[in-house]
Amino acid sequence: MTNFRCFRGQQRARLAPLTLLLGENSTGKTSFLALVRALWDTAYFQQVPDFKEAPYDLGSFDEIAHYRGGRGGRAPTFTAGFVAAPDVVRRQPRRRASGGDALHFEVTFVRKGTVPVPSKWLFEWEAVAIEDCVLPNGSRDIRFRTTNGRWQWHIPRDLGARLSPRDRSPLALFSFSWLLENLELEPLAGSPPFSAEDKEQLERLSSETDFGSRFLEGPRPFASAPVRSKPRRTYDPSRPGRDPEGETIPMYLSTAFFEDRKSWNALKDALERFGKDAGLFDEISVKPLGKRGSEPFQMHVRKFGRSAKGPLRNLIDVGYGVSQVLPVITELFRDESTPMFLLQQPEVHLHPSAQAALGSLFCQIAGRRRQLVVETHSDHLLDRVRMDVRDGKTKLTPKDVSILFFERENLDVRIHPLNLDGEGNVLDAPPTYRRFFLDETRRSLRL
């Protein structure tokens, strides 16, 4: 990303199966999460991203484009992109994959009224590249590049207006067979006429990349809010769904309890395993206040004593940390999986031991097909991840963990990509990393 919010120069960051965002307040961690979802929407859902959609509110273009103040002024555009590994985008991975097989995507945003909108897209896959530029008059120039040359296709404004928003991205456009049959491509820079071989390369790109089956038909990343909804003594039935604050989670649990006991039992077991590990609860249950799922209900939890089970208690009558973490862990365990989770401060209101248990849970959940990007201020969560990876508690390896340290430098922010070694040590950390904790330790020891 370049010229986005507090990030001036180009910043690069690696997203692993488990990525932890660390740094002081107001260093751009939440903005980073919002940008990940915006890129997903732009590339995979072919829509103009809403930078004000909950749980993020980045404001208008003037709040999003980098502003230096004084003579520096505001950047007229901001750019972001990603590189996706071959096994992420290819339907059937080849036996051998080279670095050139990665998918490169980049988008440039400009101001339209008060909101940022894409003005240029760039896709690169193997030897094929597609660049789509929106011109000021509303028409578009799409440029194709293969191993044989470069060509341009001009789309008049009236034709572009007839396409649905989902069909306007360059990848969606060239996937239509009628388009490949009727392209009127103008050769650029002395390139030869568009040939059958060039057409074959574009068709193969369309068929091999997994945009349709993995992304376009799948759910978006789930983004959680930093503070979840308050517990209620009694819940009235509503439509189950997904929301950043977890407002609908009790209804999701109640629906599973009444309508799918197999799913409920599996979910209940998973929740109780975490509850025990975290020391939060040993049992969770739905208490119906009627005979049907359409009637009010309550959520109860129970702690066990040494010789007997304790009483069932209403969710509102136990520590606030239980109700705050329940939406997060339920989303991780629920049946309808999503390939990416963007979590803000999941450890809020949790005791250090429960924060550590959350780190272990993330190591268990994260994998090749499920990415967790977690903004956290918890050293206990980070240390548990380091130790679980070191001790081989899960299949997660040091390469499967990425630590991004956000450091304020004058008026800008720099992202430091950090890694783990086989002993769980953090590598390549700048001098400011954990400086506060070291200073506090020295003071405590009177050093």
Note the pLDDT tens digit of each residue in 371-386: 999 999 999 999 999 9
Tokens of 436: 């506060």
pLDDT tens-digit series, residues 196-216: 777 777 766 666 554 433 434
Residue among 416, 409, 446, 411 nearest 433 (CA): 416
* Residue 186 and residue 270 share a domain: no
Same domain, residue pair 124 and 67: yes
**Which segments of the chain have a pLDDT < 50?**
90-99, 177-178, 210-217
Domain match, 241 and 141 both: no
Same domain, yes or no: 158 and 53? yes
Residue 155 is assigned to a structural domain of this protein: yes
Assigned domain for 250 exists:
yes
Alpha-carbon span 122 to 106, nearest angstrom: 5
Is residue 109 located within the same domain as residue 61?
Answer: yes
User: Is 398 within a domain?
Assistant: no
Regarding whether 172 and 208 lie in a shared domain, the answer is yes
**Are 89 and 172 in a shared domain?**
yes
Task: Report whether the peptide linkage leading into residue 136 is cis, meaning its omega lies within 30 degrees of zero.
Answer: no
422 burial via Cβ count (<10 Å: 0-12, 13-18, 19+): exposed
- Which contacts (CB < 8 Å, 24+ apart) does range 132-136 have? 132/169, 132/170, 132/173
- Taking the whole predicted model, whether its pTM rises above 0.75 is answered as yes
Looking at 191, 216, 241, which one is the last position of a domain?
216
Report yes or no on 376 lying in a domain.
Answer: no
**Parallel/antiparallel/unpaired status of strands 186-188 and 150-155:** antiparallel
pLDDT, one tens digit per residue, over 362-420 is 999 998 778 999 999 999 999 999 999 999 999 999 999 999 999 998 889 999 999 99
Q: Which two tokens stand for residue 354?
A: 């429960």
Last residue of a domain, one of 192, 216, 240: 216
Statement to judge: residues 48 and 176 lie in one domain: yes
Among 193, 216, 239, identify where a domain stops: 216
**447 found inside a domain:** no
Q: How many Å apart are CA 16 and CA 332, to the nearest integer?
A: 17
Q: Which tokens go with 444?
A: 């405590």
pLDDT at position 224 is: 97
**19, part of any domain:** no
231 and 199 fall within a common domain: no
Q: What residue numbers bound the domain in which 303 lies?
A: 222-324
Alpha helices of 76-169 — where are they, by DSSP H? 86-89, 157-162
Fill in the DSSP letter of residue 336.
Answer: S
- The count of domains in the chain is 2
Q: What single-letter amino acid sits at 90? A: R
Token digits of residue 230: 């308050």
Helices (H), 260-351: 261-278, 320-333
Would you say residue 276 lies in a domain? yes
CA atoms within 13 A on the CB side of 27: 19
Establish whether the linkage from the previous residue to 86 is cis, with ω within 30° of 0: no
How do 313-314 and 297-302 pair as beta strands? antiparallel
**Do residues 39 and 47 lie in contact, with contact meaning Cβ atoms separated by under 8 Å?**
no
Q: 121 and 207: one domain? A: yes
How far is C-alpha 87 from the chain's CA centre? 18
Q: Based on the domain organization, do 146 and 36 belong to the same domain? A: yes
